[in-house]
Amino acid sequence: MNDRLAGALVETAPDAVIENVKPQVDGGRFAAKRVVGESVVVTCDAFAHGHEKVACVLRYRPRAQGWSEIPMEFLGNDRWRAAFVVDTIGPWDYVVQCWPDHVESWRESFARRIDRDDAMLAARTGAQLVAASAANASGSEREILTRLASILADERDIGKLRAAAADETAFAIARRRAPREGGCESAALSVTVERERARFSTWYELFPRSTTGDSRHGSFADLEERFDAIAAMGFDVVYLPPIHPIGHEKRKGRNNATTAQPGDVGSPWAIGSAEGGHTAIHRELGSASDFRHLVRSAKLRGMEIALDIAFQCAPDHPWVREHPDWFAKRPDGTIQYAENPPKKYQDIYPIDFSSKDWRALWQALRDVVAHWMREGVEIFRVDNPHTKPFPFWEWLIGEIRAENPRVIFLSEAFTRPRVMHRLAKLGFSQSYTYFTWRVGKDELTEYFTELSADESREYFRPNCWPNTPDILPYHLQNAPLSAFRVRAVLAATLAASYGMYGPALELGENRPRDPGETEEYLDSEKYEIKRWDLNRAGNLRPLITRLNHIRKEHAALQSDWSLAFHPTDNAQLLCYSKRAGGDRVLVAVNLDASNVQSGWVTLDLASLGIPADMPFTVKDELSDAAYPWRGTRNFVMLDPAKAPAHVFSVHVG
């Protein structure tokens, strides 16, 4: 039932209690997260003193609209549950109401009465309660309740009285229309509802300037020529590093050399020059019109452009001259460049959020995001948000979403867990994760169990990246191509959202600048134009394409909460599953990129929804091979030189 009612509690002495309402984040300080079409399952503890029964309802609404209401289901031990489906983007509110259920308490007491005279007197009390409910009803419901009240008040046949008291239909109406006396209401809690891509997305990162196939500086037109290939691989988000003018002053050279040589293009993250700042476009990439055409072209292929937001400036950014107070000074009066000792970024000035002119600064930064949103961008990857104040992000995201609630923000914060989680609570739709460095079976199991089952899942949505332009993790340095296959399979199947620094992963780029000492690439694309031979033999494009196809075909891989791990008797074999209704996907991965590994998997059939004695078939979606399985123990063998994993669809019967 879904009644749009006033839902008013009668102002009488309070006599009910509501506790432990979930989901809630930090006592309701922050919103839980959902996407359109998902359910919000609300639970609580609710009770009154003594043996009095209580009634509970869940009330919910898109903010600023009318309330809808549904009764909550009693689970036993004072526990209640109900759920509602969110069907529009934006903020939603929900509350729980509880009040003593005098009608049901009367019915339970009446059924235990043995003495006839006692029962007759009690029936008159029931009549008064039903009459009070009838006063709140109308139409046929009022007629039913008025007739029931008359029977309870006037009938002298005890058998007929008991039959009337047993009328489930009539008393369901009486309970629903009863005055809500002695009740209470929980604090209002909220849910931020986003579009589906906030939960399920597949990101491909590349540098537009490296899309010509030679040493020439690429343009938006060159990038657009890559779109068909990227779309064919199954990606729906094309993420671009900053597209703005790059500073000339203190520009970095190749391999992060302190001094640039003639022709060195610099780092896109050193934003701004005399040509403009955060709302300008690097002249060799194209014009504003070219960019708008790029955004439209991506959408025609079912993809979106995600733009990098990096709130930092090159030394010759216009803001450095126009707003010197927005930057911190060193004791000698010079502006402090960015550093993370021993790393130094002489080509980047961090913004001083402690500036006395902080209000104007905040507004200018908000205007940057609003500018690109109005140019058609609805996804932003935010660079290092953990180095900026938390209140700033809460304000900025709120401002942007008030104008366009479709906007998605990805937090690139590889930092302490509580900081990452705070950013997620403040409104970031997705977050980078520690997956990049989780390698072993135990640490992968522990970490992804946390991501999928911990209460933090209500607000923290993981986006897993095997590599980034900044990070060639140690386990991929000088590693064989099979190691990149393993990481691609894990990222694509453990998380509903994943991304890759595309060309480098496709080709298994494994050369570190300083092996074992830094995660920087040799000849990093951050500092030079790269020529990628994407068609060379041995590339991972067929595997990546197949994985992304599987993700789109199987709803089980499009969310995170159903993830379950299954024990194996080999430390190099990881097995896990996901499920969405009747869609089941079971993945077995050989974590050893160099050697064949085999072993027995012990399946948790309950998590897969498979009866213990039911035969089932597993079909490897990577190879199309099918195997009949039965029971909990089954054997797998994986050769990384051929295929590092099975990605099984599971068919019961």
Q: Could you tell me which residues are beta bridge partners of residue 57?
A: 71, 97
For residues 557 and 612, is the Cβ–Cβ distance under 8 A? Answer: no
Spans in the chain with pLDDT lower than 50: 1-6
Long-range contacts of residues 113-118, Cβ cutoff 8 Å, at least 24 apart: 116/158
Containing 107, the helix (H) or strand (E) segment is: helix 102-112
Q: What pLDDT, on the 0 to 100 scale, is given for residue 514? A: 93
Between strands 90-100 and 184-185, the pairing is antiparallel
Q: What pLDDT, on the 0 to 100 scale, is given for residue 213? A: 85
Q: What pLDDT, on the 0 to 100 scale, is given for residue 1? A: 41
Q: What pLDDT, on the 0 to 100 scale, is given for residue 441? A: 98
In three-state secondary structure terms, 561 is coil
Q: Could you tell me which residues are beta bridge partners of residue 271?
A: 246
Catalytic residues: 383, 412
Q: What pLDDT, on the 0 to 100 scale, is given for residue 7? A: 64
Q: What is the DSSP string of 244-291?
A: SPBP-TT---GGG-SSPPTT----TTSB-BTTBSTTS--TTT--HHHH
Q: Which residue spans within 438-496 are E strands per DSSP?
A: 462-464
Residues 6+ apart with CB under 8 A from 650: 577, 584, 585, 586, 608, 610, 616, 617, 618
For residues 162 and 133, is the Cβ–Cβ distance under 8 A? Answer: no
In three-state secondary structure terms, 497 is strand
For residues 332 and 343, is the Cβ–Cβ distance under 8 A? Answer: no
For residues 306 and 203, is the Cβ–Cβ distance under 8 A? Answer: yes
Domains and CATH numbers, the chain: 1-96+189-194 (2.60.40.10), 102-177 (1.20.58), 564-652 (2.60.40.1180)
Q: What pLDDT, on the 0 to 100 scale, is given for residue 8? A: 78
Which strands form 73-76's sheet, in the order they lie side by side? Answer: 17-22, 39-47, 79-85, 73-76
530, two tokens: 């790269």
- The whole-angstrom separation of Cα 445 and Cα 442 is 5
Q: CA neighbours within 13 Å on the CB side: how many for 246?
A: 23
- The whole-angstrom separation of Cα 644 and Cα 136 is 66
Indicate the residue type of 10. V
Containing 634, the helix (H) or strand (E) segment is: strand 633-638
Q: What pLDDT, on the 0 to 100 scale, is given for residue 503? A: 97
Q: Determine if the pTM surpasses 0.85.
A: yes
